[in-house]
Amino acid sequence: MDFNATAPIRPEVVEAFLRASQNVGNPSSVHGFGRSARRLVEDARRSVAALVGSRSQDVVFTSGGTEANNLALKGSGKRLIVVSAGEHDSILQAMPDAESVSLNPDGTLDLAKLEQVLAEAEKRAGAGGLLLSVMLANNETGVLQAIPEISQIAKGFDALVHCDAVQAAGKVALDIVALGVDMLSLSAHKIGGPQGIGALVLTPGLDLQPLLLGGGQERRRRAGTENVAGCAGFGVAAELAVTHLGDAHSLAVWRDEIEERLTALSPESRVFGREAQRLPNTSCISMPGVPAETQLMAFDLAGVAVSSGSACSSGKVQPSHVLRAMGASDAEAASALRISLGWSSKAEDVEALVEAWTTLFLRHAGRETSLDAAASSVA
């Protein structure tokens, strides 16, 4: 139940990956082995481009979503970066001095605040010196942003627009032209592809300063020998994501069932972003009074994999900056878990999760009741 962290790799992807890994050629070599490797990479590039309605020559393969985000922000050449308060850490830590735009309580971007921040930033950056980065789907809450409207606002300030679509791919339809963005980040392992491969998709003619130097690969936008097997797996995963997009929408039935059953048991639980449009597979829900780390251990012992709202590099669970940006208290944010479904989810998985959640909640509630009774007796 933790597909937003990484989705199980699809069997078709494994087959493509293994076949490609047996290719001995370097895709930059001109001999037959090299040309064979190049074909695998370019076939994958076309498939990834088709996933987002782009041209293959505008797809830059990277090591994943984090590198794609860093390449977009640091390679844009813009003087001032503006981001939403709910962005992934690969955005926030890449540009720690970026201007931040607040979120509404439902997790959507405050558009009035966006215009205000962009207007003030434009004065400092000058014409054409701005870049706005807003994720399409939040990785913790699943909340979807109105990217076409946001892009239109940004274009009014002559700003370049980057969109982290890592969590949205395979769950909602993607079209880089309809979204109105200049750059789009993707990651294969979120859609049943291999880990360690991603892409930054550009609009035609956009110049990008490479972060990695030392070769002419990826049209001189990202040096280094391409990950041939990873690219091949990514290509197949992208094709399957398009084919099975309807399956992703059907996951909303299970998501809603989970939320209804858990909130019926615990009416004080908060489902973050429930009032907004969300990904069909994602639910972020609190268990009042029970720390997220306690929940994670209990679920793990019950054989159920879920995530807390956020975890720092040391592995310690911390209150989510996304939930705090939505107005949650530290205590509320610290008791929230993310549940995320995917292509191999089953009805029995839902039952196992609800059973584990119910057992933990009732055990905690029973303990509190006993303590309250003991305190009353002493008094």
| Catalytic residue numbers, as ranges | 312
With b for 16 or more beta-carbon neighbours within 10 A and e for fewer, the 276-308 pattern comes to bebbbbbbbbbbbebebeebbebbeeeebebbb
Reading the block at residue 301, the tokens are 């012992």
CA 66 to centroid of chain Cα atoms: 10
The residues near 230 (Cβ < 8 Å, ≥ 6 apart) are: 17, 188, 194, 196, 197
Give the H/E segment covering residue 85: none
**C-alpha closest to that of 170 among 227, 236, 232, 228:** 236
The residues near 368 (Cβ < 8 Å, ≥ 6 apart) are: 289
3-state secondary structure of 215: coil
Phi, psi values for residue 311, rounded to 5°: -135, 135
